[in-house]
Amino acid sequence: MTDNLIESYLAACAGSQAEALTELSEEMIRQGVWTGPAGDGRLSEWRRGLRTPPPEALRYMARVAVGRVLREAELETSDDEALDAVAAALTPPPRLR
């Protein structure tokens, strides 16, 4: 078990920390939340509590982490709407634009 959502997300992603950040960045850019990729410096700020990821990033990380927990418990993970609903219930609402 990991200490927090950020660590849970990184643990749930296949591959390296850099690949996990790339995946997150691509999703945030796709959603129009970010204009460019997040780097190791930003990740370090999140880990140390100096900054909080935006709600959309928290929701994405929660979705990935919950999927891993369900897979490890040998529970169904193919229902995207259910994963989205759980992630939404665990994180703040998206920012208003």
> Each residue of 5-55: pLDDT tens digit?
999 999 999 889 999 999 999 999 999 999 999 999 999 999 999 999 999
Q: Where are the alpha helices (DSSP H) in the chain?
A: 5-12, 17-31, 40-48, 55-72, 80-90
Residue pair 38/44 in contact by the 8 Å Cβ criterion: no
Question: How many whole angstroms separate alpha carbon 49 and alpha carbon 27?
Answer: 22
Q: What pLDDT is recorded for position 28?
A: 95
**Tokens read off for 45:** 């700020």
Q: What pLDDT is recorded for position 49?
A: 92
- Is the pTM higher than 0.85? yes
Overall average pLDDT of the 49-71 stretch? 94
Question: How many whole angstroms separate alpha carbon 64 and alpha carbon 35?
Answer: 22
**Burial degree of 59 (CB within 10 A; 0-12, 13-18, 19+):** buried
